[in-house]
């Protein structure tokens, strides 16, 4: 069996959240479909993002969608980014932490890697690793 796994983030403002990740991790919005592109959607919901593909950090793809209710992160899931360059890992860590909370500082670990944890300003948990 072969498959590709992508994180799907339900957001209160997918465009703003995608812009934050694009700035923090580099990348581009590959596609956006709004609810307005579907028939029968009420006018007040037509601008909402139904599906967005965001390429970040060298080709990883995050999916985002606007939520119709409150959207909040959960501690039962973290997104992990592994880097080969310490400066890139530190930069991503710092940018993702902007407006969020550092849960564990990015520093050398006994197993020989650098590691840190963040909850970003949207409530998404990130683990940043430099092997």
Residues 121 and 88 in one domain: yes
Residues 13 and 55 in one domain: yes
In a domain, 1, yes or no: no
pLDDT classification of 104: cutoffs 50, 70, 90: very high
Bigger pLDDT: 69 vs 88: 88
Compute the mean pLDDT over every residue in the chain, rounded to the nearest whole number: 90
Residues 25 and 59 in one domain: yes
Bigger pLDDT: 17 vs 75: 17
CATH assignment of the domain containing 25: 3.30.720
Structure tokens at 78: 């973290």
Total number of domains in the chain: 2
SS3 of residue 7 by DSSP: coil
Q: Is the pLDDT of residue 75 over 70?
A: no
Q: What is the pTM of this model?
A: 0.85
Residues 117 and 83 in one domain: yes
In a domain, 25, yes or no: yes
Instruction: Count CB-CB contacts under 10 A for residue 114.
Output: 18
In a domain, 117, yes or no: yes
Q: Are 128 and 88 in contact (CB under 8 A)?
A: no
Residues 6+ apart with CB under 8 A from 56: 21, 22, 25, 26, 27, 62
pLDDT classification of 72: cutoffs 50, 70, 90: low
For residue 116, give its domain range: 79-130
In a domain, 71, yes or no: no
Q: Is the pLDDT of residue 78 over 90?
A: no
In a domain, 74, yes or no: no
Residues 17 and 45 in one domain: yes
Q: Is the pLDDT of residue 29 over 90?
A: yes
């Amino acid at each position: 069996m072969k498959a590709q796994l992508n994180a799907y983030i339900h957001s209160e403002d997918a465009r703003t959240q995608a812009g934050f990740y694009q700035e923090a991790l580099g990348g581009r919005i590959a596609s956006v479909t709004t609810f307005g592109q579907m028939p029968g959607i009420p006018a007040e919901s037509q601008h909402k993002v139904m599906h967005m593909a965001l390429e970040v950090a060298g080709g990883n793809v995050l999916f985002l969608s606007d939520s119709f209710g409150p959207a909040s992160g959960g501690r039962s899931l973290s997104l992990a980014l592994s880097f080969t360059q310490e400066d890139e890992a530190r930069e991503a860590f710092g940018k993702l932490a902007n407006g969020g909370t550092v849960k564990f500082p990015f520093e050398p670990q006994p197993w020989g890697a650098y590691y840190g944890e963040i909850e970003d300003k949207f409530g998404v948990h990130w683990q940043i690793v430099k092997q």
